[in-house]
Structures are given as C-alpha cells and as structure tokens.
Amino acid sequence: MIGNWKLHGNRVENAERLAALKEAGPWQAEVAVCVPFPYIPEVALALQGSRIAWGAQDCSAHESGAYTGEVAAPMLAEFGCRYVIVGHSERRALHGETDQQVADKAKRALAHHLTPIVCVGETLAERDAGQTDEVVKRQLSAVIHTLGHCISQVVVAYEPVWAIGTGRTATPEQAQAVHARLRRQLQAATEKADLISLLYGGSVKPDNAAALFAQPDIDGGLIGGASLKAAEFAAICRAA
C-alpha cells in the first residue's frame, strides 16, 4: 500500500500524520509513503524502526550531471528510500514524460536498489475510444523492453487517469480486467510475473478499498488524496 502525498504537506502536518499512522499500524500489508523531496530526511527519521517504508514521487533518469532541478536515484537511496514512483499520469501529462523516459527512470532506480512503482493508465478519451488495453500495453512494453529480466523487480500501478482525484473509481471488475491483461503481459516477459505487485490507484477510499483488493490481480493500492488523512489511509491499509 503506497501513499502518494503529491504536492502536499508541511513539517508540522507531516509529523502529526506520521505519528498517527505509526500509532494505527502495523498492518499485514506492506505500507510506504512517497513524499515531496525536501521532507524525505525528516520522514526517514520519523519512520526509522517502524514498519512503514518511505520513498519519492519521481527520480531522474540520469545518474548525475547538468540537470537542474532533478533528483537522482542514488540521492534517494542515501536517505533510505525503498520506493520511487515513476510515470505518474500527472508527470506524463504535465511534464511530457514519454514511455521511454519512464522506463529509463525505472532502470536507474533499480540500479540503486530502489523499487520503481511504474504507473500506467488511460485517459477518459482513450477509454471511450476503446483504447485502454492498447495504451497500458504500450506503456508497460517500454518498461519490459528496457529492464529485460529485471522487470520482475518492479511494482506496477494501474491508475486510470479519469479516476485520479476525481472521486470516480473504476469498478472492481473494470480494474480487475486491466490488471489481468497487465499480468498476462508480464507473464510473457518473466516467469516471476505472479510475484509482481499490481496496485490499483484512483480515488481509493475506505469504503471501496475492500472490494477492489478482493480482486485476484489487485495486490494493493496507490493512494493519493486519502493518504493525507491518517485515519483514512490506516483504514485502507487494514482493508488490504
């Protein structure tokens, strides 16, 4: 279960949220929070010794160099990050990230023992045009081709863009149908496909979490808005 704080928080709020989360756990599910870059050292201190891991919301595809404003995977590793989200639809849409750039970021993350959470998902226009399968297949293909057998080390998050932050969730059946396709694509690439965690993301809340996580190919969730409220995130973690 991954909480994506996006561009939210401040030091006081973060400390309160993390204290409440630690108090509410532990859960059977593996839990992590992906936080804005400047807060990583403080979050690391707060979560050290707990069963909640931490990570970032993006990393550079480059190791180092003249890339103003970027943050490198080895820097995240220095601060104990276990995960990094790559290819979130907000970055694809607002920062023009391509499938290949996302794949290169995933590769760079793995080189530094970070688990990339690779996001894929279609827009509403693509769904309405019947292109969902084609879009997620293309997005995942780039990562499979770039990582080769290391694809077994990633986490994949299916996030239909029309369900992110909109309050409109994919039905468990809609999500399961796409997850099953992603699983088949992974099975064609690696014998370890069944061990890869496939997360669903898009307006997951305490009241819809259990039905989503009951689906055979939905192994967990990538949670945005609800991860900012400790009680809601804790309830979702319990549902997993």
String of contacts with ligand PEP for each residue 3-42, x by CB under 6 A = -x-x------------------------------------
Does the annotation place 4 within a ligand binding site?
Answer: yes
Q: Which of 165, 184, 187, 194 binds ligand PEP (CB under 6 A)?
A: 165
Question: Residue 224 and residue 233: Cα distance in Å, rounded?
Answer: 9
Does the annotation place 9 within a ligand binding site?
Answer: no
223 makes contact with ligand PEP (CB under 6 A): yes
204 makes contact with ligand PEP (CB under 6 A): yes
Q: Which of 55, 121, 160, 202 binds ligand PEP (CB under 6 A)?
A: 202
Active-site residue, 159 included: yes
Our CB check for ligand PEP shows the closer of 62 and 208 to be 208
Active-site residue, 88 included: yes
Q: Which of 34, 106, 222, 239 binds ligand PEP (CB under 6 A)?
A: 222
Rounded to a whole number of angstroms, the minimum distance from the CB of residue 206 to ligand PEP is: 12
Does the annotation place 6 within a ligand binding site?
Answer: yes
| Set 30, 88, 122, 179: catalytic member | 88
Under the rule (CB under 6 A), what is the footprint of ligand PEP? 4, 6, 159, 164-165, 201-204, 222-226
Binding region = 4-6, 165, 203, 224-225
